[in-house]
Structure 1
Amino acid sequence: MNHLNTPDPGTTDIVVLNSQERALVNRVFENLRVYSPETMVGIATRVMDLERLSVSISRYPSMYERGVLAGQTRSTETLIDTLCAYSDGERLLTLPTKAILGQGFLVAKFHAFSAITKVAVNSFFSDEDTQELRLATLNIMFTLMAEDVYMSLLDDPNLNETVRRAIAESLAELWEHRLDPNVLSVAPVLDAVWTVRDQIAPNFGTMIGTSELLLLSIALDDNWQKFISTQLGNSDVISSMEEFIFGLSFEDISLIRTELKNRGLTAIGRDEVPEIIGHKGTGSNEDPRVFYRAYTQRRNNANARKRLSAKGPWKTLEDHYMQFIFEQKHIKANNGGN
Structure 2
Amino acid sequence: MEGIKNTSTEEFVSVDLNDFFDKPEEINDQDAEIEALSPHQKEMYDHIISVAKTVDPVKYEVFEERMRDLQKLAESIANFPSLLERHNLSGGERTPQSLIDSLIKHQPEGDITLQLPSKATLGKGFLVAKIHTFSSLYKFAKSIKQPDAVWQELQQETITLMCSLLAEDVYLNLLHDPAIPLEFKQELAMRLLLLWEHRTDQNVSDIAPTLLKIWTARRKLAPAFGTMMGTSELLMLSMQLDDQWTTFMKAKLGDTGVSQAMEEFLFGISHEQILQLKEILKTKGIPAIGRDEVSNFLGVHIKADAGLDYRDFYSLYTVRRDNARVRERMHLPGPHKTIEDYFIQFVMEQEKEKQNNDSFAK
TM-score (norm. length: structure 2) = 0.85
Measured at CA, do residues 71 and 250 of structure 1 come closer, stay the same or move farther in structure 2, by a change above 3 Å? closer
Q: SS where residue 157 of structure 1 aligns?
A: coil
Match of 2:74 in 1: 54
SS for the counterpart of 1:136 is helix
- Could you report, residue by residue, the CA deviation over 1:268-317 in whole angstroms, capped at 9, with x for unpaired residues? 22222111122232442221001111011111111111122112111001
Give, in whole Å, the separation in 2 of the partners of 1:207 and 1:164: 34
Alpha carbons 1:283, 1:290 under 8 Å: kept: no
Partner Cα separation in structure 2 for residue 30 and residue 296 of structure 1 = 37
Preserved contact between residue 282 and residue 294 of structure 1 (Cα < 8 Å): no
Which secondary structure state, in structure 1, belongs to the residue aligned with residue 231 of structure 2? coil
Q: 1:81 aligns to what?
A: 101
Q: 1:104 to 1:198 in 2, by over 3 A?
A: closer
Which residue of the partner structure matches residue 15 of structure 2?
Answer: none
- 1:170 and 2:191 aligned: yes
Partner of 1:327: 349
Instruction: List aligned pairs for 1:112-131, cutoff 5 A.
Output: 112-131=133-152
1:177-236 deviation digits (Å, cap 9, x = unpaired): 1001121222111211111123323134253532x5334424533332221001011111
Question: Aligned with 2:215: secondary structure?
Answer: helix
Alpha-carbon distance in structure 1 between the residues aligned to 2:353 and 2:195: 23
Measure the CA separation in 2 of the matches of 1:326 and 1:294.
Answer: 23
2:54 alignment partner in structure 1: 34
Q: Which amino acid aligns with 2:292?
A: D
**What is the CA–CA distance in structure 1 between the aligned matches of 2:38 and 2:242, rounded to whole Å?**
23
- 1:191 is paired with a residue whose SS is helix
> Would the aligned equivalents of 2:291 and 2:304 in 1 still touch at CA under 8 Å?
no
Paired with 1:114 and 1:121, the residues of 2 have a C-alpha distance of: 11
Specify the SS of the correspondent of 1:332.
helix
In structure 2, the gaps of 5 or more residues are 1-28
SS at match of 2:222: coil
Q: Deviations over 1:100-151 (max 9, x none)?
A: 1101100111121222223223323233322222211111111111111111
Contact 1:166 1:326 in 2 (8 A): no
Tell me the secondary structure at the aligned position of residue 13 of structure 1.
coil
Deviations 1:28-86 (A, max 9, x none): 01211211122112101111110111001011111111133469432111111111111
Distance 2:314 2:91 in 1: 41
* 1:22 aligns to 2:64 (yes or no): no
Q: Secondary structure at the match of 1:68?
A: strand
Matches within 5 A, 1:66-145: 66-69=86-89, 72-89=92-109, 91-145=112-166
Give 5+ residue unaligned stretches, structure 1.
1-8
Structure 1: distance between partners of 2:74 and 2:312:
27
**Separation in 2, partners of 1:17, 1:262:** 56
SS at match of 2:152: helix
Give distance in 1, aligned partners of 2:87 and 2:308.
46
> How big is the alpha-carbon RMSD for the aligned residues of Structure 1 and Structure 2?
2.0
What is residue 3 of structure 2 aligned with on the other side?
Answer: none
Kept in 1, the 8 Å contact 2:252–2:258? The answer is yes
Aligned to 2:170: 149
Residue 214 (structure 2) pairs with residue 198 (structure 1): no
- Provide closer, same or farther for how the CA distance between residues 14 and 70 of structure 1 changes in structure 2, counting only shifts above 3 A: closer
One-letter code of the match for 2:297?
Answer: I
TM-score, normalised via structure 1 length:
0.91
After TM superposition, give the deviation of residue 93 of structure 1 in Å: 3.3
1:236–1:315: 8 Å Cα contact kept in structure 2? yes
1: distance between equivalents of 2:219 and 2:88? Answer: 55
Change (3 A) 1:146 1:215: same
Aligned to 2:319: 297
Q: Which is worse superposed, 65-74 or 253-262?
A: 65-74
Tell me how many residue pairs correspond in the alignment: 329
Match of 1:5 in 2: none
- Which stretch shifts more, 189-198 or 149-158? 189-198
In structure 1, the partner of 2:208 is: 187
The one-letter code matched in structure 1 to 2:141 is A
Q: Identity of counterpart residues, as a percentage?
A: 40
Q: Within 2, Cα distance between the matches of 1:13 and 1:197?
A: 37
The CA deviation at 1:156 is: 0.7
One-letter amino acid matched to 1:220: L
Is the 1:84–1:154 contact (alpha carbons within 8 Å) kept by the matching residues of 2?
yes
